[in-house]
């Protein structure tokens, strides 16, 4: 399944429901009944990099699958009609209670995220986030626990999601 394009799971036109929803090219399907062509693109997701004055990174312990119990960074899917900057600020608030005061785009990485037995393809946007009061952080929503880890003690292999592991590795190289 990992090598198949996600469109292989779609058998009916999302516009008219026709079963005549056929491969158009490697990125899209086309309905032979209503003429609708659907391109499957990755979902936008955000990741927050929050570093305090002691050069410690705020990390979460995942409270839900996938990768429940492993380390993660605050973040999640961007909502419709929301910028990635707004999305990362909302996710930080939902998961940590912190208010983001400034965002700085760092980099992006492709990812897959298994949700409800469906492999969601994402593009994860990593942002360095400044927050109003580091001491107010507390675990909320799908974050089971929060902790501050010194940058020198970060171990990418402890992070459960592949793009976050790669992101931690990239971040450590950027901060050298």
Catalytic residue among 32, 65, 136, 145: 145
Cα dihedral across residues 164, 166, 169, 174: positive or negative:
negative
- The answer to whether 78 and 84 are in contact (CB under 8 A) is yes
User: Concatenated DSSP letters for 144-171?
Assistant: EEEEEEEGGG--GGGBSSHHHHHHHHHH
Question: How far, CA to CA in Å, does 67 sit from each of 20, 145, 151?
Answer: 37, 14, 22
Q: Is 145 a catalytic residue?
A: yes
Residue found by looking up tokens 């580091």 in the block: 134
**Active site residues per annotation:** 145
């Amino acid at each position: 399944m990992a090598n198949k394009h996600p469109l292989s799971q779609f058998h009916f036109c999302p516009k008219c429901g026709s079963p005549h929803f056929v491969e158009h090219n490697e990125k899209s399907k086309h309905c032979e009944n209503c003429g609708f062509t659907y391109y499957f693109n990755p979902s936008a997701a955000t990741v927050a990099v929050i570093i305090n004055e002691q050069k410690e990174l705020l990390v979460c312990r995942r409270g839900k699958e996938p990768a429940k119990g492993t380390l993660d960074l605050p973040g999640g899917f961007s909502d419709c009609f929301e910028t990635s900057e707004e999305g990362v600020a909302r996710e930080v608030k939902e998961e940590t209670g912190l208010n983001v005061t400034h965002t700085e785009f760092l980099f992006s990485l492709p990812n897959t995220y298994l949700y409800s037995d469906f492999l969601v393809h994402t593009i994860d946007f990593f942002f360095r986030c400044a927050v109003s009061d580091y001491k107010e952080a507390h675990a909320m929503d799908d974050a089971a626990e929060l902790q501050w880890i010194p940058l020198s003690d970060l171990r990418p292999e402890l992070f459960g999601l592949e793009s976050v592991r790669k992101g931690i590795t990239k971040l450590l190289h950027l901060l050298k």
